[in-house]
Structures are given as structure tokens and as C-alpha cells.
Structure 1
């Protein structure tokens, strides 16, 4: 077996390292979402993120990777490479195929994790498992093929989405919009007049740690997409990523400070993430000054979009639709304005802007339509939503049989009436002590 060149070895280390950073972002998703929702559903959201990893990676290995990067069929989907089998000679040769798959599988899990937060606190776990498998094996890979595969139809038109503002974030964000609408709002989220009722986050420090983890992982997300440790623009990509994120967080902080006379920490965290989402498409194509503009606009846009979705009675406990969907689409379109090669503001050429708009809208609509169809099918075999009593009790107890935290006060009793949901749990005695506490 021939020894790999030094260049291939360095590239492999770089890709494996950055893929690991992206996988670590799942811890960020878990903590961020847990901090934003109520404490009775902490275990539930963490289980969804574990399910994304376990079933998402498996589904992508067996089916999704082949549909996304297999030999092309009419620019629409791949037809080879399932379970990394068959000829893979068309894939990048600067790294082993296994390293390329590893990096792409990390992206896949990030996509489905965006949906988990939008349907938190009320979606049936079995239904979510089925959807996660469909998302990672079919929905995400097919639209991803259009943009990132060598012969994908949007890529051939010239669409630029360096690390996935549309391929990952807009697609999954608008998928989350449909999922949240179909599952319905949480009990008590909207009053009888349709006004949104705020549910206080359970743990802001937990959400903040999650934000920092996601922020850290995003440097792997964007810079790692070079797939090349010797690329000249790695530092430029990282700089644009940082500049957009601070601009997004800064604009959200200042907007809430001057509008409400109080700086909103939740909006600031989502502003940082909005800047990261928006710059992901153009981090390798725009100037640092453009990155600041894109990030600053994204933070305010996120706040406005959150208000719009409340008016539409779409319940999104963590703001995933506004952060990922709206700003994924926005960031992709901004490449058409600010790209240093082909941007409207930099060259006066409108072609790239038109392609960016077409691609962003098409992939977003694909995410919405396929999610609607998938959930319609899933509804035939499993209810999408938990029962009222399960939701009121909390999904931690009703679906997973334990709470995230437990304070042992030494109370031991068998006199507490059993909740009908808890009778089926093998943790019944523990749960009854928890309820008593």
C-alpha cells in the first residue's frame, strides 16, 4: 500500500480535527436548547441530540452520502457510494474518502439538530426519530447534491455556498418552520386573543455555555470546509467568521438595549449565532468589512423574524427558524451582493445574485415541502405530538422516565398516587420520590 504524501497527511489531520470540532457542536446544541426550554424537558432535548448523532450518522453512511456525493444523475442526486462502496474516484483526492465522509457526516447531524429545538417540549419522540432518519438519509443529501456535488444543477449554475448557509441552515431552518407548525404550539404559548405568552428560559448560563461551544465549533465548520490544510484563505475565513458573529451579537445587544432599555442576553446569544449562520455561505468570498455588515444586519433581522413568527403563531422555543432559516437565506443572498468575484456591489454583475436567490429559495422550499410530506407519512404510524397530560407532566418523565436533576431529601413513601403515565415506567419508584420532593 503506497504511503500518502505529506500534503495528504496534513490535509487528513486538518479535516479530522475540524470534523471533530463540528461534532462537538452537538454538545452546544444540547446545552443551548436545554437552557432555553423548561427544565421538565431537559432530558428530552438531550435525547433528541443523541438520536441525531446515533441515527443520523448511520442513515447518512448507508444512504445519504451516496445520494449527496455519488455519481451524478441529471444534476439531481447521486447513485453510488452508498456505505462508501463502489467507485469513489470522482471525490476529492486531497484527502482519503473516509475523511471526506467524516466531515460531511458532521454537517449532516448539524442540519437535523436545528429542527430538534423548534419542536422541543411537545413532539413525540418516536415520530422525531423517524423524521431524523428521513432528514439525514434523503432530504438533506438530495438538496445538498444540487449545490455541492461536482455536477449538481445549482453548483453548475455558479451558486456559492462555501460552508452551508443554504445547504444546511436555510434548508433545516425552513424545515423546522413546517415541523413547528404541524406539531403546533405548546400549551399556553398563545392566549385566547392569539398573543404570545413568554416562557422564561430555564437556565441562561447553560444556554450561554452552549453558545460558546457552537461559536468555537463554527471555526471548524467554516475553515474546515477548505478540506485543505495548506489553503491560503483559512485565516481569512476564520476572521470573517469572527467578525460576523460579533457584529450579529453586538447589533442584537444594542437593538434590545435602546428599544427596551435592557440588553437581552437571549437575543445577544441568538444574534451571535445569526451572524455565524449568515456568514457561512460567504466566509471565503467576501471582505472583512462585508462580513461586519452581513453580521450586523443578521442580528436585527433575527429579532424581527422572531416577532413575525409569533404573529403567525409559530412556536419556536429556541429561535431556530429565525436564526438558521431566515439568516441562512439572507446570508446566501448577501454573497450575490458582496462576493469579491461576481458580486453586484463589487463588480456590477447581477448574475451571481440571481443564482444565489434562486438557489436559496429552491432549497428552502425543498426543505419545507419534503418535511411536510415526511411528517404526513410519519403521522400514519405515530402521533406527531405528545398528549396533553404528557406535555403538562414534562417529556423527561413521560417519555424518558427521569428528570434532569434530583434533590434527595430523604423522603421515602409509597403513599403518593401514581400518575397514569408513570405506571409504565421502570423508574416508577424513583419518579414518585422525585414528584414528592
Structure 2
């Protein structure tokens, strides 16, 4: 035994500690009713991996190669001591921990809705076939001096960003596609819903454990203890820290409506996964760049999976699949020339892309076939009722979880009984409210008809008669005083008719109900421009939110009142109306004129400003007025909204 063997054993123990990290991380990110299920799954999958990989998978991965496709000879670990007596069993122990990592990742991604038996069957196939065969193509020459076709092409994966993490990530992608999303993960409108987490501090503990264990993951992959170990450990740490920064900044600048909490965890693990490919080759600053970029990639890929409605309970696909792929490709971009194996940088990038692509096709393709067959033969998913209860109860009959479930369902029953009574009352109130609205609408229509047919027509006739009288007085009497009085009366009558028309228009803005606020405002501006001669400009700079009917009516009235006041008092020749979106779900309605302005101290109570402020306050909005005598007025109205 040498210090190299001792270093491998210590590193393997570090990597084994990853199992504890995965348990803490996954348990922290899922609902309490499933934590026991996840913890037990992780233990059982490692048990299966230990037996299947050691007695079958190791031979396929590191045994004497057959056509460069698979190994052999070391079935049940036979003949191992004859090949390399000092290293043999130490190497098996070290590689077993890597296989255990790959298998554990897959079960975590499918948590909270997948039955235990299918996951264990998948662990058998993953540990025995999918993982070791791809590993043979890259690492087949680590134990014996023999060719490995991907490595011989120049493909580099120092510690398993693709071999371990990429394989696990793409198999996880196949699994979540076949098993489907968790119940109520998306609402009826397609928006993602938070299902709750059992213990985020526990997830933070899991992240630190994984971070710590990664020092053995990368450091041990050197397979000896020499002066490069320090660089490998530093690069590992740098990339994890930079991954957090990349993820947080990406979340801040591009995904403002997402919590940055998930970005912290995903960024750290994404950076660790990415540097696994090249921790032995990169300089510290390059490791920072790899981690930073990969942290951003992990955040964007997680969002993309959400858009596709692919439900990954712990973010395994984005962290291990996309994080591993980005780290493997970025290695070719940042590694010093002496580590490129005589290839140009462009050639190395293409080789790394080819290796990542082969990994995806192999792992995702076989994973999809595996889960499809398991689903057909045994069924992957628990029933909707079992998922509601939680897998703690369904799989392990946990009495405490059962008591919690009974309490919850008891309260739900009481709530449903109470809500039934409330629902009847609500239906009665809704019926009365509907009747009231219909009655009010009928009264508005009747009032509009009476004003139009009665008062309006009479005033129009009066205006005509007065006009004729005014012409006659001018011709026959030539009395300027009398003629002026009659003209003023005609003008007053015309103004009264216009006021009535405005009232009629205000009583029933039917377009608002049919076309929405934006179209109604546009028509309002067109009508005012025709009647007033003032030039109007309308700028819809952001899509109009789907306002509720009451909110839309109040906003319409505010805009209408603003415009009416401008026409009456500002002496403006141009009015600009702009609608735009602000940060934090706030919408801005801006109305500006080039009129005479006014003194806020003198007329704030007039001009309908109090009425507008009251309407905006009901909607949670604010009104700001920017005005100066002789330089026009701008009204800024901010209103919160929710799509």
C-alpha cells in the first residue's frame, strides 16, 4: 500500500458522504409528506448499486474490452487480484462511489409521485448497463492499459461531469417525461405553483455536505497524491462559488419574478458539476469563468424545463445534465494548450460536443426505453389519492404521517361543510347582485333614451329656433345688444347639448366591455380629436393587463376625466397618452399636454383631481402631477396588476 492508495480510499469515503448530502438536499426540497420515502429510496438505491455495479457493472466498465464497446472478465470481481493486486479492490471501492452518485441523482428527480419498486428496477439497469457502458467508452483505459474509443478521439472528462453527472441528468430527463408532473404543479392557466418544501435549512446543509464531498470526487480522480491535488481542490471550490454568483446575477437580471433562493443552491451544485470535467487542467481564473457560466446555464435550463412543463423535483436535469454538458464543453475553451492533446482548440470543442451528444443520445435514449417498459409492465406512478396522502404513508405506513393526513382531511371535511353553506349564500348574493346590475343597466338605458328623446331633442329644436330669431333680429332691428344676448343664449344651448351627449356617452361605454380598456381609450381619443380639433397621440408601449371589469371601468373614467379637464382648462393644442409597464407588476398611465399648466397650491382640490385620486386609491394606485404654469401638465398614474 502506498500514499496513492490511501488517498483513493479517503477520497472514496468523501464521495460516499455525498449520499448523506443528497438525502439532506432532496428531503429539504420536497414536501414533508414524502421525506421518509426519499430517504429510504436513497438507501435502497445505494444498496442495489453496491451489488449490481460491483458484480456486473465494474466488469463492463473496466474489464478487458470487446471491440471497444464493453468490458468483461471481472464478473463477480473474479480475476481482479491477478491483474493489479495492490490497486484492484481499492479502485473498485472508489469507482463504486461514483456509480452510487449517478444512480441516486435519478431517483431524486422523480420524487413525490413515483413508486418505490420501479425506481429500484431502474437503479438495477442504470448501475448494471447504462452507466458502465458509457463509462467504458471514456474511462475504459484507467484500470487497464487499453483503448477507449471516445477518449481516443480526444474526449476529456477528468472526473465525470459527463460520465457520471451527464448520464444521471439525461436519464432523469427521460424519467420525469414518462412519469409526468406532480399533482397541482401547474394551475389551470399554466402558471407554476409552489408545492412547499419541508426544510430549506436542511437543503442548505445538504449543499455544504455535497460541496465538501466534491473535494474527494475531483481530488481522488487524479488516482494519485501529487502536487496537482491542491490545484484541483481550489478549482473545485472556485467554480462552486462562481456558480452561485452566476446563478444569482442571472436570476436578478433576467428572471426578476423568480426567487433567488433556488439559484443559490442550483448555482453551487451546477458549478461543482461543471468543474468536474476539467479541475485538473484549468487555472483558477478559468475555473471561476466555468463556474460562473455554468451557474447561469443551470438557471436558464431550469426555466426552460418549467416552460415545457417538465417537473424535476430537485433540479437534477438542469444541475447535472446541463451543468455537466456546459462544463465539459467549456473545458475545451479554457484549458491551456498543453492539455488539448495536440488538437486545435476548435477541434477539441467539436470533440467535446460530440462526446456530450453521444452521452445524451445514449443515456436519454436508453432511459426513455427503460422507463417506458417499466411503466408498461409495472406502472411508475402512484395513484392521485396516494400522491395526495404522501408516499410516507403509501410506501412505508408511517403512523405520524398518517395522523397528520387524518387531521388534514378532517379539517378539509369541516371546511367543505362550512364552504357548502357559504357557497349557497354566495350564490344567493351573486343572484341578487346580478339582478341589481341588470336593473341599473335598464335604468341607465331608460335615462339615456329619455335624455336623448326628450330633453336633447327639445334643446336641439330650441337651438334651431334661437338661431333663426338671432338672424331675424340682425336683419330687422339691428340691435347689437339684443343680438348679442340671443347669440350667447344659442351658445349656451349648444354647450348644454354637448354636455348631454357626454352624459349619454358616459352612461354606457359598451366598447369597454366588448374590446377592453386599450381599444376604448383609443376610440375616446379619436372622438375627442374630431370634436375638439386638438391633436391626440396614443402610445401603447406594453401589452395591456387583463383588468377586471370594475378596475377597467375605473381606469377608463380616470382617463376620461383627465382628458375632459384638459379640454376645458388647459388651452392645449396637443395631448399625448402613453401606457407602459413598470417593475414590480405596476402599470403606468401617462397623460401629457402642452397647455398653460396650473399652480398646484391653488387648484389641487379642483379639476376633478380628488375624484381621480379616490378611484386610483381603490385600485391600489397612485397619482403624481408634474405641472408648471405656461409649460403644460403631465399626470402619472401607477396601478398594480396581476396577469
2:319 aligned partner: 323
Equivalent residue number for residue 38 of structure 1: 31
Instruction: Confirm or deny that 1:191 pairs with 2:187.
Output: yes
Q: 2:54 aligns with which of 51, 54, 61?
A: 61
Question: In structure 1, what is the equivalent of residue 214 of structure 2?
Answer: 218
Partners in 2 of 1:139 and 1:175 — Cα distance?
9
Displacement, 1:250? 1.7
In structure 1, the residue matched to 2:2 is 9
Residue of structure 1 aligned with 2:66, choices 70, 73, 98: 73
What is the correspondence of 1:99-178 to structure 2 with a 5 Å cutoff?
A: 99-150=90-141, 151-178=147-174
Cα contact 1:336–1:343 (8 A) shared by 2: no
* Aligned residue in 2 for 1:251: 246
Of stretches 256-265 and 293-302 in structure 1, the one that deviates more from structure 2 is 256-265
1: CA distance, partners of 2:305 / 2:10: 37
Could you say what secondary structure the match of 1:77 adopts? coil
Q: Which residue of 2 aligns with 1:19?
A: 12
Aligned mates of 2:260, 2:123 — CA distance in 1 = 32
Residues 278 and 433 of structure 1, relative CA distance in 2, 3 Å threshold: closer
From the superposition, tell whether residues 262 and 358 of structure 1 become closer, same or farther in structure 2 (CA, over 3 Å): closer
The aligned residue for residue 417 of structure 1 is none
* Residue 349 (1) aligns with residue 342 (2): no
Which string of whole-angstrom CA distances, capped at 9 and with x for unpartnered residues, describes residues 285-317 of structure 1?
A: 111111111100111111111110011110001
Distance 1:287 1:88 in 2: 38
Taking structure 1 as the reference length, the TM-score comes to: 0.87
* Cα distance, 1:336 vs structure 2: 1.3
Unaligned runs of 5+ in 2: 142-146, 409-643
Gap change, CA 1:201 and 1:356, over 3 Å in 2: same
Aligned length: 401
The Cα shift of 1:47 comes to 1.2
Match of 2:178 in 1: 182
**Counterpart Cα distance in 1 of 2:190 and 2:81:** 54
Distance across 2 between alignment mates of 1:105 and 1:181: 28
| Inter-CA distance 152–262: structure 2 relative to 1 (3 Å threshold) | closer
Which shifted more, 275-284 or 193-202?
A: 193-202
5+ residue gaps in structure 1?
1-7, 407-429
Deviation of 1:362 (Å): 0.3
Give the corresponding residue for 1:424. Answer: none
Q: Please state how far the C-alpha of 1:125 moved relative to its aligned partner.
A: 0.6
Structure 1 204/157 Cα, relative in aligned 2: closer, same or farther at 3 Å? same
Residue 291 of structure 1 aligns to a residue whose secondary structure is: helix
Indicate if the aligned counterparts of 2:81 and 2:89 stay in contact, CA closer than 8 A. Answer: no
* TM-score, scaled relative to structure 2: 0.60
SS in structure 2 of the partner of residue 106 of structure 1: helix
Preserved CA contact (<8 Å) 1:343 1:350: no
Q: Does 1:384 align with 2:384?
A: no
Cα RMSD (Å) of the superposition?
A: 2.1
Instruction: Check whether the contact 1:270–1:323 (CA below 8 A) recurs between aligned residues.
Output: yes
Counting only pairs closer than 5 Å after superposition, residues 257-406 of structure 1 correspond to structure 2 as: 257=252, 260=256, 264-341=260-337, 348-402=344-398, 406=400
CA distance in structure 2 between the partners assigned to 1:305 and 1:368 by the alignment: 16
In the alignment, the residues of structure 1 paired with residue 388 and residue 258 of structure 2 have an alpha-carbon distance, to the nearest angstrom, of 32
- Rounded to whole Å, the distance in 2 between the matches of 1:108 and 1:433 is 37
Q: 2:23–2:42: 8 Å Cα contact kept in structure 1?
A: yes
Measured after TM superposition, the shift of residue 263 of structure 1 is 6.7
Q: In 2, distance between residues paired with 1:118 and 1:147?
A: 25
Shift of 1:284: 0.6
Cα 1:347–1:240 shift into 2, 3 Å: farther
Which residue of 1 is the match for residue 223 of structure 2? 227
Cα distance, 1:87 vs. partner?
A: 5.3
Distance 2:376 2:339 in 1: 47
